[in-house]
Structure 1
Amino acid sequence: MRIIDAHQHFWDLEANYLPWLTDKPVNFRYGDYDAIKKSYLPADYRQDAQEFELAASVFIETEWDPTDPLGEVAWVNSLRKRESLPSVMVAQAWLDRDDAESVLAAHGQTDFVRGIRHKPKAASAPGDVVPGAPGSMGDPAFRRGFSMLAANGLSFDLQTPWWHLPEAADLAEAYPNTQIIINHTGLPADRSDDGLAGWRAALMRAAECPNISIKISGLGQKGKPWESAENRPIIRDTIEIFGADRCMFASNFPVDSLVGTFSTIFNGFRDAVEDFTPGEQQALFHDNAARIYRIDPTREV
């Protein structure tokens, strides 16, 4: 199957500064991240993805040195020239910073940058959401930066827990010309009945907005391997809510190598939609990412 991987990363820890991987022990939602505190480059990625025919990939910013968002773009450009990967990029920008206007203008003038990612401030639980909190999607400073995306031809990759997706819907309705792409399936980490009910309701609210799409990725659970039986219902529910024309499959490699191999994850995706039509499968694995991230077919590898 020919695939476009809609969410992947590269990093060279010997040459570049990624504070989250180099400054302190990493212990995020998958637990101990020590196994990925090493450089990960196109040769490593091609080895991981060798079972599949890789058409293109979308590089997502890696929380590079926040004082130098344009430095990561220059580094990715050198990778593209040398390795023909990645195909396109979602770059770092801080929408509530004073330099947002100049950074977004620079990204908009870079031919392989398709959008930006800025992780808004998030509450730790559904009941703790404070509307308009500084750094959140309701913050006027955040919205000022967000308002500049469309004019620069940029989309917005959104990584936030599902309980902030109603805010994302409000943002999408206020700026209907800006494409929003939810990362990692809205982070359905709580697999209890109540947790999944809240996640589904939040996805339904986001799906009301035609300018919101979603990447099915990041489905690992702390301390557990990636399993089709556990993730198939999540995959199916997401596609039912958003439709097969607004969902994309993605590896989140190398981060998700902590919970499964590339083959385990993509074969799990394939098994979950084995009864879908060939056209729907083509959309989920390739065409939607090509359209949403505006990938030139001549750049397919």
Structure 2
Amino acid sequence: MLALIDTHHHFYDPQAHYYPWLNDAGFPPHRYGDHAALKRPYLPADYARDTAGVNLLGSVHVEADWDPKDPVGEMRFIASLRQQCDLPSVAIGQAWLHQPDAASTLEQLAAFAFVRGIRQKPRANAAPGGPPGGMTDAAWLQGYARLQPLGLHYELQTPFWHLHEAVRVATDFPDTRIVINHAGMPSDRSEEGLRAWRTALAAVAAQPNVAIKISGIGEAGYRWRPDANRRIVCEVIELFGVDRCMFGSNYPVDSLCAPFQSIFENFATYVADFSAQERAQLFVENARRIYRIPAQRIEQQQG
């Protein structure tokens, strides 16, 4: 069985808690299209069924767009799940860095021993061009400056046409790690779109404090396309190298595209010609290092 640490998944319960994208009628469709199938609880028992075909050594819960008025509440929810089943191994919380209460929120999140960083989707344009995005705001940058002293890193999900702003942030804050989500979001799969995505990604890959997760690379209107996604995976690894890339399922969201095991079997096929050590880095070791997942936890999961 394929051994892995899943660096990007979500637990949520819209029957017990408020998630605008799951609870609000008329919420805009997901980037994959209709996401009605996701509007149900997704808890460790569901994840266990989906991951039954792999040797799961650990996992990273990433904030699931929980009620923005109570970002700390999501980590209390995740703490309760961890007490029940020891998963997720670690988590990424939600914080709105430009808000006046950002300092307090970050301090509360950092107080959870299993929280490793925060994710916020900065203000972005729907298409290339337009005004600067949220990573240029003075208030946002003040919030960002608080991450490293608290031992937190930043998970960035933004369209690739805003990655040039991330280059500036990475340069100005060299001691704060950035982990790019979803392979830099190559949403435009035309040749022109992929060239623009690669150019943007190459610039941010030149920053040594930036790593990337190969996750969430499904396409609206399609099931998983192995050949199309192979190009994405291979180009990301070419740009960042095997020591700064990790794989993630983005489950249950990517259940709209493919079964969990199929996604990781495709990942494994794409890197089948890599050395055993390189494959171990991509599937396990980089995640363990970057997310500071204790080795004993992984050994317990193996047992």
> TM-score over 0.5 for the alignment?
yes
Query: What SS does structure 2 have at the residue aligned with 1:248?
Result: strand
Q: Which residue of 2 aligns with 1:12?
A: 13
Q: In structure 1, what is the Cα distance between the partners aligned to 2:122 and 2:171? A: 18
Runs of 4+ more than 3 Å apart: none
Query: What SS does structure 2 have at the residue aligned with 1:56?
Result: strand
Deviations 1:208-245 (A, max 9, x none): 11010000011111111112111001100000000010
Query: What SS does structure 1 have at the residue aligned with 2:136?
Result: coil
Deviations 1:225-267 (A, max 9, x none): 1121110011000000000100000000000000110011101
Q: Aligned match of 1:221 in 195, 219, 222?
A: 219
Q: In structure 1, what is the Cα distance between the partners aligned to 2:124 and 2:258? A: 27
Q: Aligned match of 1:156 in 154, 157, 180?
A: 154
Q: In structure 2, what is the Cα distance between the partners aligned to 1:176 and 1:49? A: 36
Deviations 1:105-125 (A, max 9, x none): 112221000000011001111
Query: Does structure 2 conserve the Cα–Cα contact (< 8 Å) formed by 1:25 and 1:34?
Result: no
Q: Which residue of 1 aligns with 2:80?
A: 78
Label 1:217 to 1:115 Cα distance change in 2 as closer, same or farther (>3 A).
same
Query: Does structure 2 conserve the Cα–Cα contact (< 8 Å) formed by 1:228 and 1:272?
Result: no
CA RMSD of aligned residues (A): 0.9
Q: Aligned match of 1:109 in 91, 108, 111?
A: 111
The equivalences for 1:91-106 within 5 A come to 91-106=93-108
Tell me how far 1:74 sits from its aligned partner.
Answer: 0.6
Q: Aligned match of 1:295 in 271, 277, 293?
A: 293
Q: In structure 2, what is the Cα distance between the partners aligned to 1:14 and 1:170? A: 41
Q: Which residue of 1 aligns with 2:59?
A: 57
Q: In structure 2, what is the Cα distance between the partners aligned to 1:233 and 1:157? A: 23
Amino acid at match of 2:77: W
Q: In structure 2, what is the Cα distance between the partners aligned to 1:227 and 1:288? A: 26
Tell me how far 1:170 sits from its aligned partner.
Answer: 0.5
Query: What SS does structure 2 have at the residue aligned with 1:90?
Result: strand
What number of residue pairs does the alignment pair up?
297
Query: Does structure 2 conserve the Cα–Cα contact (< 8 Å) formed by 1:8 and 1:58?
Result: yes
Query: What SS does structure 2 have at the residue aligned with 1:79?
Result: helix
Q: Which residue of 1 aligns with 2:179?
A: 181
Query: What SS does structure 2 have at the residue aligned with 1:32?
Result: coil
Tell me how far 1:25 sits from its aligned partner.
Answer: 3.8
Tell me how far 1:192 sits from its aligned partner.
Answer: 0.7
Q: Which residue of 2 aligns with 1:236?
A: 234
The equivalences for 1:250-289 within 5 A come to 250-289=248-287
TM-score, normalised relative to structure 2: 0.96
Q: In structure 2, what is the Cα distance between the partners aligned to 1:25 and 1:102? A: 32
Once the two structures are overlaid, the 10-residue window that deviates more, 11-20 or 156-165, is 11-20
Query: Does structure 2 conserve the Cα–Cα contact (< 8 Å) formed by 1:10 and 1:41?
Result: yes
Q: In structure 1, what is the Cα distance between the partners aligned to 2:217 and 2:25? A: 25
Q: Which residue of 2 aligns with 1:246?
A: 244
Query: What SS does structure 2 have at the residue aligned with 1:215?
Result: strand
The equivalences for 1:166-205 within 5 A come to 166-205=164-203
Q: Which residue of 2 aligns with 1:119?
A: 121
Q: In structure 1, what is the Cα distance between the partners aligned to 2:173 and 2:107? A: 18
Q: Which residue of 1 aligns with 2:4?
A: 3
Q: Aligned match of 1:209 in 207, 225, 230?
A: 207
Tell me how far 1:299 sits from its aligned partner.
Answer: 2.3
Q: In structure 2, what is the Cα distance between the partners aligned to 1:299 and 1:158? A: 26
Q: In structure 1, what is the Cα distance between the partners aligned to 2:202 and 2:241? A: 11
Q: In structure 1, what is the Cα distance between the partners aligned to 2:274 and 2:26? A: 42
Q: Aligned match of 2:40 in 23, 30, 38?
A: 38
Q: In structure 1, what is the Cα distance between the partners aligned to 2:258 and 2:127? A: 27
Q: Aligned match of 2:70 in 54, 68, 74?
A: 68
Q: In structure 2, what is the Cα distance between the partners aligned to 1:245 and 1:179? A: 14
Unaligned runs of 5+ in 1: none
Tell me how far 1:45 sits from its aligned partner.
Answer: 0.6
Label 1:263 to 1:25 Cα distance change in 2 as closer, same or farther (>3 A).
farther
Unaligned runs of 5+ in 2: none
Deviations 1:24-56 (A, max 9, x none): 245121000001110001111111111100000
